[in-house]
């Protein structure tokens, strides 16, 4: 398979670049290994810090429970 020069240049693909190929929603996706690694690290970081976690049922439950606990702590 030949990738046109304009696309290679735009994506930073150089001779010997490592790319990862996968199918996503019926499309072939080629991604630089470094880019994929950075995306996965960001996802793990979000999961570990809870960023965006409140938008899941479990996250919403945790937010509610923490609010209840904080309210109990404020009671005399």
How far apart, in Å, are the Cα atoms of 9 and each of 5, 12, 57?
6, 5, 43
Q: Which of 20, 36, 15 is nearest to 5 (CA)?
A: 15
Q: Is residue 65 within 8 Å of 73, Cβ to Cβ?
A: no
pLDDT value of residue 37: 92
Tens digits of residue pLDDT in 1-13: 888 999 989 988 8
Domain ranges of the chain: 5-74
Tens digits of residue pLDDT in 26-71: 999 999 888 899 989 988 887 777 655 556 777 778 778 888 888 7
| Total-model pTM | 0.53
Integer Cα distance of 69 and 1 in angstroms: 59
pLDDT value of residue 27: 95
């Amino acid at each position: 398979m030949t990738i046109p020069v304009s696309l290679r240049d735009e994506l930073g693909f150089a001779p010997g670049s490592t790319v990862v190929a996968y199918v996503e929603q019926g499309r072939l996706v080629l991604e630089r290994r470094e880019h994929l690694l950075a995306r996965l690290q960001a996802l793990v970081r979000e999961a570990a810090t809870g960023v965006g976690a409140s938008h899941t049922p479990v996250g919403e439950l945790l937010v509610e429970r923490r609010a209840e606990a904080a309210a109990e702590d404020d009671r005399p």
